[in-house]
């Protein structure tokens, strides 16, 4: 039994119709410019950022970079964060608020803060009052960096040799300790130092 020539063309014609209809549909959608669906405004938003400055008591400001780091975390979960002081950011990472937040440097600054955040956040609460003088606990930060936390005679915390200047600040479910240095892994520290060397040569 032979197929007629018209029958052999029907699959090709069918595919051509499907492609044409699809192209027409895409054209209509692009002309109408349907609005994008935003997931950030809905009730399913996992990361509800708080304005940190309003959450702290008067006099407990932690600096712009510290606030930016805290705002990266979901506010309804228990974290402990060892935030570098503004002076530590400037001294150890060469980050200055007026300079590092300029538009041309904002992406680099965000990348550095995100990396530092991963070294300094522990996914549970560590209060200074829960440690005895001389006692040391070991925990892993979000990046997996081992943190060795102890308390000195002045009731300040020491984390990997970096001393705190303020302890037990509370922001929602988070505990914030302001540190006199930046807690970071050796590889990241070397990359920061090499970047500084490159800038000095320029």
Q: How many domains does the chain have?
A: 1
CATH number at residue 144: 2.30.180.10
Whole domain around residue 73: which residue ranges? Answer: 52-201
CA angle 128, 129, 132 (to 5 degrees): 90
Residue 118 falls inside a structural domain? yes
Enumerate the H helices of 72-185 as residue ranges: 86-93, 97-100, 106-120
> Mean pLDDT throughout 20-33?
62
pLDDT digits (tens, 9 = 90+) for 133-186: 989 999 999 999 999 999 999 999 999 999 999 999 998 889 999 999 999 998
Residue 10 falls inside a structural domain? no
Instruction: Tell me if 46 sits within 8 A of 76, measured CB to CB.
Output: no
Query: Strands of 162-171's sheet, edge to edge?
Result: 121-122, 80-84, 174-179, 162-171, 157-159, 146-151, 136-140
Closest to 166 measured CA to CA, from 57, 64, 69, 72: 57
pLDDT digits (tens, 9 = 90+) for 36-77: 433 333 333 333 444 554 455 544 578 888 898 999 988 778
Residue 94 falls inside a structural domain? yes
């Amino acid at each position: 039994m032979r197929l007629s020539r018209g029958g052999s063309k029907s699959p090709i014609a069918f595919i051509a119709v499907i492609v044409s209809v699809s192209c027409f549909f895409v054209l209509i959608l692009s002309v109408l410019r349907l609005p994008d669906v935003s997931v950030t405004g809905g009730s399913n938003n996992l990361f509800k950022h708080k304005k940190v400055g309003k959450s702290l008591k008067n006099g407990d400001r932690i600096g712009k970079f510290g606030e930016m780091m805290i705002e990266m975390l979901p506010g309804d979960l228990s974290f402990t964060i060892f935030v570098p002081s503004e002076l530590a950011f400037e001294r150890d990472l060469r980050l200055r608020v007026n300079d590092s937040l300029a538009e041309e440097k904002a992406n680099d600054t965000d990348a550095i803060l995100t990396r530092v955040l991963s070294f300094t956040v522990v996914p549970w609460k560590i209060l200074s009052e829960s440690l005895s003088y001389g006692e040391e606990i070991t925990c892993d930060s979000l990046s997996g960096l081992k943190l060795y936390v102890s308390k000195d005679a002045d009731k300040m915390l020491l984390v990997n040799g970096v001393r705190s200047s303020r302890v037990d600040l509370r922001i929602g479910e988070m505990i914030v300790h302001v540190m006199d240095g930046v807690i970071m892994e050796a590889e990241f520290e070397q990359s920061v130092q090499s970047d500084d060397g490159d800038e000095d040569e320029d």
